[in-house]
């Protein structure tokens, strides 16, 4: 065994790793990237719950009760609601996970050790967060009764947690049966509609491999003409696939469709423009179909499945996972699909998501058109 031959092979492989971008990524960068992504993927803890409060008592005791509700690290007060008519807007704009209603006479009833009732209105479009929000209200209510000494007293004069005089009543909007299917299926629409965009990236990479792309670029065709020619067929096929997927959702899974079909179609078109533009942009930096598939899966598909709010809401605080989430078109479409199908909202309520998708589409298309020929050259 010759050390010189071994060293020669080592030098050759090191040069190969350094010069080949795909090998460099797989060997050196992919483990760190996968660890970063999978850590957030496999963490299903609810990271943030926000309550809105309808305080009809406006007493010192009701204010202390609200302060107790938000005393935990991951629980926050979204604001105060002036009436039941505003609850829809708080849920439509995803400003609150639940609305806690404190009735009139709250303090007077508890001070006289009479039973009082607190109502919790939950957004059933996301059962995971709704159940967590309800559990926290019940736990903090029990702690509040004990802390304030409002429960039945034991022989030592300590308030007991049993037979609480403060009852928590539940009301669920949009999904009264708390069926997780009603929340999951609309959200999954944004994930499965990534498939047409993946096909566009693979098709572009295939033309690079076969050499037909250079033949097209040798013609007088402009970069924008070429890019939109690649874009439009996959957007049309995406619209068709969305219609078929929507039929499965509403007919087979019996998920309600409470919104406007035309408005939803426009929002789907907005989403497909953003996803296809980003997918083609990724494909413009690789030279093989395999690399295009791996790149789209790791950068686009996998984070879209787990970091888009499909299983748990996107945290409001700034973090690496939050930045990744809001760079994904699927994050906005999960909100759109649940809003249209379950809540019946339209463009007036979903314009922030529509605007974000339009910005992603314009940026990705602009970068794709501006950098594509340069990358080939």
pLDDT in tens, 62-77: 888 888 888 877 788 8
- What's the mean pLDDT in 257-276? 92
Alpha carbon 356 to chain centroid, angstroms: 13
- What's the mean pLDDT in 213-232? 71
Tell me, what's the pLDDT at 377?
A: 47
- Measured distance CA(273)–CA(341) in Å, rounded: 21
DSSP 3-state of 122:
strand
Write the DSSP symbol of residue 255: -
| Packing angle of the helix pair 194-210, 223-247 (nearest 10 deg) | 140
Does one domain contain both 358 and 229? yes
Does one domain contain both 139 and 227? no
Tokens 């989403």 found at: 271
Does one domain contain both 128 and 186? no
Does one domain contain both 347 and 322? yes
17 is a domain residue: no
- Asked if the model's pLDDT at residue 52 lies above 80, the reply is yes
Does one domain contain both 246 and 339? yes
- Asked if the model's pLDDT at residue 225 lies above 80, the reply is no
Higher pLDDT, 312 or 35: 312
13 is a domain residue: no
Sign of CA pseudo-dihedral 106, 110, 114, 118? positive
40 is a domain residue: no
Sign of CA pseudo-dihedral 262, 336, 292, 223? positive
Does one domain contain both 169 and 291? no
357-370 tens-digit pLDDT:
999 999 988 887 77
- Asked if the model's pLDDT at residue 42 lies above 60, the reply is no
- Measured distance CA(47)–CA(31) in Å, rounded: 25
pLDDT tier, 154 (very low <50, low <70, confident <90, very high otherwise): very low
CA angle at 155 for the pair 150 and 158, rounded to the nearest 5°: 35
Tell me, what's the pLDDT at 262?
A: 93
Does one domain contain both 153 and 269? no
81 is a domain residue: yes
Contact 357, 329 (CB under 8 A): yes
Greatest mean pLDDT among 89-93, 170-174, 227-231, 245-249: 245-249
101 is a domain residue: yes
115 is a domain residue: yes
- Asked if the model's pLDDT at residue 226 lies above 90, the reply is no
> What does 168-223 look like in DSSP terms, one character per residue?
EEEEEES-TT--HHHHHHHHHHHHHTHHHHHHHHHHHHHHHHHTHHHHHHTSS--H
237-259 tens-digit pLDDT:
888 888 888 999 888 888 899 99
Does one domain contain both 204 and 352? yes
* Helix/strand/coil (H/E/C) assignment for every residue in 39-51: HHHCCCCCCCEEE
Within the chain, strands assigned E span 49-55, 75-80, 98-102, 116-123, 166-173
Does one domain contain both 342 and 233? yes
Tell me, what's the pLDDT at 83?
A: 85
pLDDT tier, 353 (very low <50, low <70, confident <90, very high otherwise): very high
Q: What is the mean pLDDT of the chain?
A: 77
Structural domain harbouring 137? 49-173
Tell me, what's the pLDDT at 161?
A: 46
Residue 288 CA: distances (Å) to CA of 201, 234, 240, 285: 10, 19, 28, 10
Does one domain contain both 121 and 225? no
Does one domain contain both 213 and 341? yes
- What's the mean pLDDT in 169-181? 78
Does one domain contain both 146 and 251? no
- Asked if the model's pLDDT at residue 123 lies above 50, the reply is yes
Residue 224 CA: distances (Å) to CA of 51, 84, 91, 228, 362: 48, 51, 41, 6, 12
The residue among 156, 173, 190 that closes a domain is 173
- Measured distance CA(189)–CA(298) in Å, rounded: 19
Higher pLDDT, 251 or 301: 251
Q: Going by C-beta distance under 8 Å and a sequence separation of 6 or more, which residues neighbour residue 375?
A: 284, 285
- Measured distance CA(101)–CA(157) in Å, rounded: 30
Contact 184, 310 (CB under 8 A): yes
Contact 92, 52 (CB under 8 A): no
- What's the mean pLDDT in 254-281? 90
pLDDT tier, 216 (very low <50, low <70, confident <90, very high otherwise): low
The residue among 132, 158, 173 that closes a domain is 173
- Measured distance CA(357)–CA(334) in Å, rounded: 12
DSSP 3-state of 84:
helix
pLDDT tier, 9 (very low <50, low <70, confident <90, very high otherwise): low
Greatest mean pLDDT among 147-151, 292-296, 314-318: 292-296
231 is a domain residue: yes
Contact 364, 281 (CB under 8 A): yes
The domain total for the chain is: 2
The residue among 138, 157, 173 that closes a domain is 173
Higher pLDDT, 8 or 62: 62
């Amino acid at each position: 065994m010759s050390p010189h031959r071994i060293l020669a092979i080592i030098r050759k492989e090191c040069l190969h790793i350094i010069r080949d971008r795909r090998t460099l990524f797989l060997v050196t960068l992919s483990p760190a990237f996968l660890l970063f992504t999978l850590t957030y993927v496999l963490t299903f803890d609810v990271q943030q719950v926000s309550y809105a409060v309808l305080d009809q008592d406006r007493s010192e005791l009701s204010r202390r009760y609200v302060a107790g509700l938000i005393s935990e690290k991951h629980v926050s007060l979204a604001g105060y609601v002036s009436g039941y008519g505003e609850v829809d807007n708080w849920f439509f704009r995803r400003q609150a996970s639940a609305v806690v209603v404190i009735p009139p006479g709250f303090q007077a009833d508890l001070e006289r050790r009479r039973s009082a009732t607190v109502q919790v209105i939950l957004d059933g479009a996301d059962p995971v967060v709704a159940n967590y929000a309800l559990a926290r209200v019940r736990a903090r209510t029990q702690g509040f009764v004990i802390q304030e000494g409002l429960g039945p007293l034991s022989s030592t004069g300590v308030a007991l947690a049993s037979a609480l005089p403060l009852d928590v009543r539940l009301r669920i909007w949009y999904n009264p049966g708390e069926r997780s299917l009603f929340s999951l299926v609309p959200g999954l629409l944004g994930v499965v509609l990534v498939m047409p965009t993946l096909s566009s990236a693979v098709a572009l990479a295939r033309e690079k491999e076969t050499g037909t792309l250079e033949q097209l670029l040798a013609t007088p065709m402009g970069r924008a003409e070429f890019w939109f020619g690649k874009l439009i067929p996959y957007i049309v096929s995406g619209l068709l696939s969305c219609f078929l997927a929507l039929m499965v959702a509403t007919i087979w899974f019996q998920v309600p469709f409470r919104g406007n079909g035309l408005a939803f179609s426009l929002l789907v078109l907005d989403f497909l423009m953003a996803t296809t533009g980003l997918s083609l942009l990724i494909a413009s930096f690789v030279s093989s179909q395999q690399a295009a598939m791996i790149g789209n899966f790791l950068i686009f598909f996998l984070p879209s499945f787990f970091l888009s709010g499909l299983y748990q809401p996107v945290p409001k605080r700034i973090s690496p996972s939050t930045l990744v989430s809001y760079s994904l078109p699927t994050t906005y479409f999960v909100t759109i699909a649940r809003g249209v199908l379950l809540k019946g909202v339209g463009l007036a309520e979903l314009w922030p998501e529509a605007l974000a998708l339009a910005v992603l589409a314009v940026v990705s298309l602009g970068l794709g058109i501006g950098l594509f020929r340069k990358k080939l050259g």
